[in-house]
Structure 1
Amino acid sequence: MGAVADRKVGSVHDTPRDAPEPLRQDIRLLGGILGSIVRDHAGERVFDLVEAARTSAFAVRRSELDRQDLAEQLAAVSDDDAVEIVRAFSHFALLANVAEDIHRERRRAVHVAAGEPAPDSTLTATWRKLDAAGLSAEHVAAVLHDAVVSPVVTAHPTETRRRTVFDTQSQISAAMREIDRGGLTPGERERLEQALRRHILTLWDTALIRLSRLRIQDEIEVGLRYYDAAFFEVVPQVNDEVRDALRARWPEVGLGGAPTVRMGSWIGGDRDGNPNVTADVTMRATQRAAQVALEHHLGELAHLEQELSMSARIVEVSAELDLLASASGDDAENRLDEPYRRAVWGLRGRLSATARRILGFVPAHGVTADLEPYDGPGELAADLTVIDTALRRSGSDVIADDRLARVRSSVATFGFHLSGLDLRQNSDVHEEVVADMLAWSGVHTGYADLGEDDRIALLSDVLATRRPITAPGARLSDLAAKELAIVRAAADAVAALGPDAIPNYVISMCTSVSDMLEVALLLKEAGLFDPGDDDTEPSCPVGIVPLFETIDDLAGGASTLEAALRIPLYRRLVAARGGVQEVMLGYSDSNKDGGYLAANWGLYRAELELVEAAARADVRLRLFHGRGGTVGRGGGPSYEAILAQPPGAVQGSLRLTEQGEVIAAKYAEPPLARRNLEALVAATLESSLLDLEGLGDDAEEAYAILDELAVLARGAYGDLVHDTPGFVEYFETATPVGEIGALNIGSRPASRKQTTAISDLRAIPWVLAWTQSRVMLPGWYGTGTAFEQWIDGDDAKRERLADLYRRWPFFRSVLSNMAQVLAKSDLGIAELYSRLVPDEDLRRRVFDRITAEHERTLAMYTAITGNDTLVADNPSLDRSVHNRFPYLEPLNLLQVEMLRRYRAGDDSDKLRRGILLTMNGLATALRNSG
């Protein structure tokens, strides 16, 4: 990986703001250490193979060597050597991520040190924009009174790194930060480089991936690791800053009472296509989340108890604090004059009792005390307020503003539940389960044969009464029994942890009102939905959230929502929930269904129509964006994506999924988490309070243009993906999609059903397979044809699109994200994957069309944007392409060779592990692969 380079270390003030040299030096340093470890621990022969692959890869990039020569060089290595080479380049990709993250921190520090204005996507910049806008307090209060930004952590098959790898990467980052701060003596420098060598050696000797298929229990733990790593520190900080800034600007309206950033999760509640999610798994997910929250609070209280050593002989003690201390049961003689410590000990005792009630045991940092448990986090918060008030009365604000303030904010943010676990299931499953329940109860034996109107009438009647339609011991199908058990486990979690534990039930592939009412029936059977009576309104702590996924379903989403709100019982339920209706938008399946441009425009159009429908029904709309890591699944820079939403679509609230390796890239450490959470909140505030669309009176004309472009793009995409004979065969053989399903990646099957249809394949393997093969098809295909056909040689029409690119954040974001994908694509590498297709005629028919569309899309991008390169507006990606992408070459070429051997009958464990390692390495290197 290259020799260790000498690196001059100086202050960030001495570094040119855009200079990439420090980044290159960091990469040389880390790569040099890795190279020496490969030589020492894998042997000179393996080191020579790695170095030969590295130098040849750079020669290919400089057009000094034909790619086929490198492919033949790698095809000659044994399985054992291939795995070692893959390991080396995978580790380098991981280390390059560290270097790039450190460089981003360095650049931000340089900007701050230079006294430059805070950049976009920071809260400081957002407050500046809001101040300049002169917003009225009434308007801000109306928009932000229930503001919430909720990143929802979801499982993902490419995030398979073990906790040891995760922790070691953080230690490497910490050492690199110390080196970057400068002012080191030679001895200190040597100590840090030795630490780097120790950590990188630990990585080299640690298996990057597990031997067995990832279980949901493992995925739960992966999701929880980010709380200790960053969320516990950063989320309360951001919430406090937002609260204080809002109250300082608009003190009269009392904003910021509830935390703005509230974490969510799908891991253990999302069973759409995942038969491994059971009632036990759902209970485990909520219990483990509660354990993590309670252990954190107890640990912080233990530290607080040690810090609050104030003596009643010296400071004045309020009557409320004295009462709290007296009720604590702490009668130790040596602490009788230390009311704060005694009070906090009592809080620890009550919280320990709470943990025992919820978990069945007292977790770490707990104490044994004969005290009553808290009924909820509000009671703990009230006790903390007593301590805070007492400190401030005695003039100890500086103490109250330290750990105590952090504990209070943490309790307000995470409660006893940590994060809200959404339930999710496919509407087809709900239909089958409800039909079985209705048949067993004798209410109706042919529900599946009813039309939509009859279904709505039947479900409305059943929902109107509190009487359940099943009973313990009911003879239901295995599926119905399992689904009811999961919903009842969710009800138990709500009873133990409060309504925030299970905030939503998401309906995948929702197409009708009956799909929504079926979920209401399941919630009623579990005791979560109460239809009310003449004296009480309906109630349900769990929101019913339709998920519109395909392009056609997105187009009909507003009609479905309006029809649901015309059902009196459902309308009253929404009113009882504060008049808020959440709707989820599916980026992944809409893209797989209709292609990149058609899906993005379908989503925009759906949002416009949903906003109008909600306004007509006088309900408050909250949108939940089902974004994946890659652009083909709604990924890309979050700040720009949120600003690109249509007018009225954000309204102070935003929920979005965060998946897999993208979670690590965004939230693995506090500086990363702070920057990315700030970006989400900043964009939400700006989109909610400022007019950003920029189209004015031209909006309808722009919408009409995109309507036409979307039809053309969908036609071009569908002609290849849905209508080309043999396309499924091509996809299965020219990508590693089959191996994704077979090689123990993730707990979820690759398909919802046992089928070869593209429509039934899950979006993650669909996108992941095209990404691994470097085609990146879901992020661009069809767009070039749409632009070319619409412009049709008319320069005035091309200029119209160029004007939209300059003025319209949505259109600019679509093209910018597409350019990011195209920059990561490599049709030369993709051509090698295409050679895996046995049918030569099929290979040429499909790959030639992909190549032609790729060239067409590149040409149209340049013609519309005027940008000379794909990374003209993305300097960080430009650096990454330059520094990192040559190292991807051996990973791709070895993956092709290993797939060839595997499909030829070599089913050795070594080869299977090698293929999985290439997938993991490429996912790490590309950072948003699926």
Structure 2
Amino acid sequence: MPAIANEQAERSAQAAQQAERSSAVTEMPEELRADVRLLGELLGQVIAEYGGDDLLADVERLRKAVIAARRGEISGDEVTALVAEWPIDRAVQIARAFTCYFHLVNLAEEHFRIRTLRVRDTGKEPLPDSIAQAVQELGEERVAELVEGLRLHPVLTAHPTEARRRAVVTAIQRISGRLTDYNSPGRGAAERAETRRRLLEEIDLLWRTAQLRSTKLNPLDEVRTAMAAFDETLFRAVPMVYRSLDAALGVDTGARAPKARAFIRYGSWIGGDRDGNPNVTARVTRDAILIQAEHVLIALENAAQRIGRTLTLNAGQTPPSPELRAALAAAEDHHPELVSEMATRSPREPHRQWLLFVAARVAATRQRGLDLAYRSPEELLADLRLVQTSLAGAGAARQAYGELQHLIWQVETFGFHLAELEVRQHSQVHAEALAEIQAGRTSERTEEVLATIRTVAWIQERFGVTAASRYVVSFTRSADDIAAVYELARHALGDRAPTLDVVPLFESGADLANAPAVLTGMLDIPAVRDRLATGERRLEVMLGYSDSAKELGPAAATLKLYEAQEALAAWAVVHDVRLTLFHGRGGALGRGGGPANRAVLAQAPGSVGGRFKVTEQGEVIFARYGHDAIARRHMEQVTSAVLLASTPSAEARTAKAAARFRGVARQVASASEKAYRALTEAPGFPEWFSLVSPLEEIGSLRLGSRPARRGLGAPRSLDDLRAIPWVFAWAQTRVNLPGWYGLGSGLAAVIDEIGLDELRAAYREWPLLASLLDNVEMSLAKTDRDIAARYLALGGRDDFVRQVLAEYDLTRRLVLEVTGHTRLLENRRVLSRAVQLRDPYVDALSHLQLRALSRLRADHEVSEEERERLSTLLLLSVNGVAAGLQNTG
């Protein structure tokens, strides 16, 4: 292997990493340690029962070897030799063992996180980054003002970054329930033994469940997968966030009318995003909204039934209002049998009768029973408010503003469509479609564009305009790209064209800089002017983080996006437009990922304004919305950040810091981009990247319905690669290059010219630079230099290897100098512990993956049978590394 960096620097880095590992182990809390030990022991028992003590012994040999290698007791080459001893089939079983272990460790950490949140929530002081803390900091009156315009708008996307099969996720959720039962206090010995047996049974099932998908997902599979987050978490968690805001505003919540309004709206691209995905058709979009509607209507029906059955309030003690009595009488006139049956079952309980009647109407809405169905969510809300007003008027305020208020909030949030289905298509597709129409001939693709617009019109007729009106145009270069969609709508339906809010998506550096000019041109489009006039002069713009980061590198893209936000916010003031910026962030740090609340606080002044719209995708959806407590915490953190970022004082502080440090940031960005392009635009780089990473094989994981690349064959440039596999593949190599490359050169350029102090001041005072460096620090912490060097050597380009590792060494050293940390993630103990405790076990999977990858990349022939077995080993290890690092794309 080539000599890369000077030995002293390498020894220093290794010593620092060893110190980090030691501290992480000692910091492991006993409750977490106990859960990890329990789950690990049970998995070991399952492995031994399945494959015998020899299989478990081999797993233990590798586990001890990688730990010894990290301690410097043996070399990495000795681990490589150990892995090479096993037949491929045995290596596959060992890879499965480590993958299952990571699933269980992730679960144990999630449980510990939930317990920690509950312990910290003493009620004496607000939790950090909570809504209550934001209200305490800003004051109730100021927050009450902001609540009027507050809007949090997560958009679920199907971008393929969830490596786990749904069956595996479900198995993990069952284990989670058993672990909760096992740790519940007050259980006797017999109960505890039975719970342990059930836990062992579920872990055995996880072990026996195939980790890899045997068939490729289609778009409707992706829709149904996303529905699990709604069914299991979001429907219940969202009203609890509103309740938290209500309590923070000083309301005797549950006994008074709420001050909090339903400020969360969900969107979805799943089944609507057809940019680069020919599998998403007009029929798929239609079916997607029907699946969403089915889920939300079932949830609303069940909630109305459940609450209705509890409203056993006698009319003598809690008399109904005259309006409710009249409504019941009218209902009996129109549906005598149904209402009579309810009256028989619930005599002198009019509030109960009414809500059960409402539940029956929701059921009819789902079943398309036209004589009983609601025509709109507004009709349902009117009926719910009728019973709420009656209850409050009769003195039953806690019944009026308790669970019933949750149901009202749920209807306001989700409607009958659950999430607004957004359409996305490439600007070039529209341009070619118009050219064909004008030439008097239309291809199948153009007919599909027109069919999509007709489907949007159908959705609006069935579920209302709010169910589907946004049409995102990727690679928007001019206002003509926006006008094209409105023109196509006229071709599709003439005067019956649907109501559209066409959203430009700016992704490249040049497009971000040109964004204000495009918006100015949009004001000349009659359809845009009409929407501004009828929509309170609201306009939406989407900013793409993935492709800008892939093009420019993380540091330059971060500044370019910030300056675009500044320019767009200023444009909106000049043109009297209420602008919403839609942030197209990925899950991984190389695609704009990282803590969402810190991202909000780092936005440009004036760009938030009480509104935050962002994509949520892949593994991020289940990481943030897989459990009620975690989902609620995430939504509270983002809400708190939006409130804090929207105040004049916060905007003034950010503006002052930006003015002072902009020159420094531009220097960093310029030198960083130069270093990044010097690598990624070098001749032979795309081909080298394909050799040193499992890029080619990632498509076989069947992560999603969307193709992993534009075009066929090996990539000839970065433009041929989608951002997700670009980031995913680098994560597998343990390099994580998209998350940090170039920043070291950027920092060095500034330090050489003006010294370190100004950078340290910028890190302390400017949230943008603090967020950038903290995210890079996270990415560096998930990088392993020794393992990375082994991957990079597979490509036969020592010059690229030297370039990458030299930049890593520089970036790591200078990030620590600027932040003042003695080790990576020094100020983030929980994350540091999680990363360092996983590293040895990720190493095990990396060595297994390297064995498969190096053989598959070898010059000599590999038989088809061996290639298939090696591919299975490689893909299992990819799955396991993704679980261990807890991020993919």
The alignment's TM-score, normalised by the length of structure 1, stands at 0.87
- Structure 1 position 172, deviation (Å): 2.5
Structure 2 counterpart of 1:117, one-letter code: E
Residue 175 of structure 1, aligned match among 165, 175, 178 = 178
1:264 — aligned with what?
Answer: 267
2:358 — aligned with what?
Answer: 347
Structure 2 matches for 1:289-368, cutoff 5 A?
A: 289-312=292-315, 315-326=318-329, 327-328=331-332, 329=335, 330-332=339-341, 333-357=344-368
Are 2:735 and 1:775 equivalent residues in the alignment?
A: yes
Structure 2 matches for 1:599-748, cutoff 5 A?
A: 599-689=557-647, 691-692=649-650, 694=653, 697=656, 699-722=658-681, 724-748=682-706
Are 2:110 and 1:107 equivalent residues in the alignment?
A: no
1:912 — aligned with what?
Answer: 871
Structure 1 counterpart of 2:466, one-letter code: D
- Structure 1 position 187, deviation (Å): 3.0
Residue 75 of structure 1, aligned match among 62, 81, 84 = 84
Structure 2 counterpart of 1:123, one-letter code: I
Structure 2 counterpart of 1:748, one-letter code: R
| Cα separation, 1, equivalents of 2:423 and 2:591 | 21
Structure 2 residue matching 1:691: 3-state secondary structure? helix
Q: Residues 873 and 742 (structure 1 numbering): CA distance in 2 closer, same or farther, change over 3 Å?
A: same
1:763 — aligned with what?
Answer: 723
Q: For each residue in 1:65-106, what CA deviation from the matched residue of structure 2 results, as whole angstroms up to 9, or x when unmatched?
A: 211211221122222212211111111111111111122222
Q: Residues 79 and 906 (structure 1 numbering): CA distance in 2 closer, same or farther, change over 3 Å?
A: farther
- Structure 1 position 243, deviation (Å): 5.4
| Cα separation, 2, equivalents of 1:255 and 1:370 | 34
1:505 — aligned with what?
Answer: 471
- Structure 1 position 697, deviation (Å): 4.5
Q: For each residue in 1:393-435, what CA deviation from the matched residue of structure 2 results, as whole angstroms up to 9, or x when unmatched?
A: 3332233334322222211111100011111111111111121
- Structure 1 position 291, deviation (Å): 0.4
- Structure 1 position 629, deviation (Å): 0.7
| Cα separation, 2, equivalents of 1:177 and 1:313 | 44
- Structure 1 position 800, deviation (Å): 0.4
Q: Residues 913 and 500 (structure 1 numbering): CA distance in 2 closer, same or farther, change over 3 Å?
A: farther
| 1:505 and 1:544 in contact (8 A); partners too | yes
| 1:354 and 1:373 in contact (8 A); partners too | yes
Structure 2 residue matching 1:545: 3-state secondary structure? strand
1:284 — aligned with what?
Answer: 287
Structure 1 residue matching 2:129: 3-state secondary structure? coil
| 1:491 and 1:528 in contact (8 A); partners too | no
Structure 2 counterpart of 1:213, one-letter code: K
Structure 2 matches for 1:380-779, cutoff 5 A?
A: 380-440=380-440, 475-527=441-493, 541-567=499-525, 569-689=527-647, 691-692=649-650, 694=653, 697=656, 699-722=658-681, 724-754=682-712, 756-779=716-739
Residue 68 of structure 2, aligned match among 59, 75, 83 = 59
| 2:121 and 2:127 in contact (8 A); partners too | no
Are 2:822 and 1:871 equivalent residues in the alignment?
A: no
| Cα separation, 2, equivalents of 1:285 and 1:569 | 27
Structure 2 counterpart of 1:848, one-letter code: R
Of structures 1 and 2, the one scoring higher in RCO (CA 8 A, sep 6+) is: 2
2:22 — aligned with what?
Answer: none
Residue 786 of structure 1, aligned match among 746, 749, 765 = 746
- Structure 1 position 290, deviation (Å): 0.4
The alignment's TM-score, normalised by the length of structure 2, stands at 0.91
| Cα separation, 2, equivalents of 1:175 and 1:18 | 26
| Cα separation, 1, equivalents of 2:694 and 2:124 | 47
| 2:793 and 2:801 in contact (8 A); partners too | no
Q: Residues 164 and 271 (structure 1 numbering): CA distance in 2 closer, same or farther, change over 3 Å?
A: same
Structure 1 residue matching 2:888: 3-state secondary structure? coil
Q: For each residue in 1:261-314, what CA deviation from the matched residue of structure 2 results, as whole angstroms up to 9, or x when unmatched?
A: 111111100111111100111011111000000111111222233222334465
- Structure 1 position 906, deviation (Å): 4.8
Q: Residues 380 and 821 (structure 1 numbering): CA distance in 2 closer, same or farther, change over 3 Å?
A: same
| 2:241 and 2:632 in contact (8 A); partners too | yes
| Cα separation, 1, equivalents of 2:454 and 2:670 | 44
Q: Residues 144 and 335 (structure 1 numbering): CA distance in 2 closer, same or farther, change over 3 Å?
A: closer
Are 2:211 and 1:211 equivalent residues in the alignment?
A: no
Total equivalences in the alignment:
844
| 1:325 and 1:340 in contact (8 A); partners too | no
Gaps of 5+ in 1: 1-16, 358-368, 441-474, 532-539
Bigger Cα displacement from structure 2, 883-892 vs 302-311: 302-311
Are 2:156 and 1:147 equivalent residues in the alignment?
A: no
| Cα separation, 1, equivalents of 2:836 and 2:35 | 14
| Cα separation, 1, equivalents of 2:124 and 2:58 | 47
- Structure 1 position 563, deviation (Å): 2.5
Q: Residues 517 and 572 (structure 1 numbering): CA distance in 2 closer, same or farther, change over 3 Å?
A: same
Gaps of 5+ in 2: 1-25
Q: For each residue in 1:163-221, what CA deviation from the matched residue of structure 2 results, as whole angstroms up to 9, or x when unmatched?
A: 43323322322333344454443333323322321221121121223211122121111
| Cα separation, 2, equivalents of 1:721 and 1:44 | 48
| Cα separation, 2, equivalents of 1:917 and 1:553 | 39
- Structure 1 position 707, deviation (Å): 1.8
Structure 2 counterpart of 1:642, one-letter code: V
Are 2:775 and 1:834 equivalent residues in the alignment?
A: no
Q: Residues 264 and 574 (structure 1 numbering): CA distance in 2 closer, same or farther, change over 3 Å?
A: same
Structure 1 counterpart of 2:535, one-letter code: R
- Structure 1 position 757, deviation (Å): 2.2
| Cα separation, 2, equivalents of 1:484 and 1:223 | 27
- Structure 1 position 392, deviation (Å): 2.2
| Cα separation, 2, equivalents of 1:181 and 1:809 | 41
- Structure 1 position 648, deviation (Å): 0.7
Bigger Cα displacement from structure 2, 340-349 vs 90-99: 340-349
Bigger Cα displacement from structure 2, 888-897 vs 144-153: 144-153
| Cα separation, 2, equivalents of 1:158 and 1:112 | 33
RMSD: 2.4
Q: Residues 911 and 641 (structure 1 numbering): CA distance in 2 closer, same or farther, change over 3 Å?
A: same
Q: Residues 334 and 802 (structure 1 numbering): CA distance in 2 closer, same or farther, change over 3 Å?
A: closer
Are 2:77 and 1:119 equivalent residues in the alignment?
A: no
Structure 1 counterpart of 2:811, one-letter code: T
Q: Residues 883 and 558 (structure 1 numbering): CA distance in 2 closer, same or farther, change over 3 Å?
A: same
| 2:163 and 2:701 in contact (8 A); partners too | no
| 1:160 and 1:210 in contact (8 A); partners too | no
| 1:520 and 1:529 in contact (8 A); partners too | no
| Cα separation, 2, equivalents of 1:850 and 1:303 | 59
| 2:456 and 2:469 in contact (8 A); partners too | no
Bigger Cα displacement from structure 2, 772-781 vs 189-198: 189-198
Q: For each residue in 1:643-662, what CA deviation from the matched residue of structure 2 results, as whole angstroms up to 9, or x when unmatched?
A: 11111111111111111112
- Structure 1 position 389, deviation (Å): 1.9
Residue 31 of structure 2, aligned match among 22, 39, 52 = 22
2:139 — aligned with what?
Answer: 131
| 1:160 and 1:214 in contact (8 A); partners too | no
| 1:351 and 1:374 in contact (8 A); partners too | yes
- Structure 1 position 240, deviation (Å): 3.9
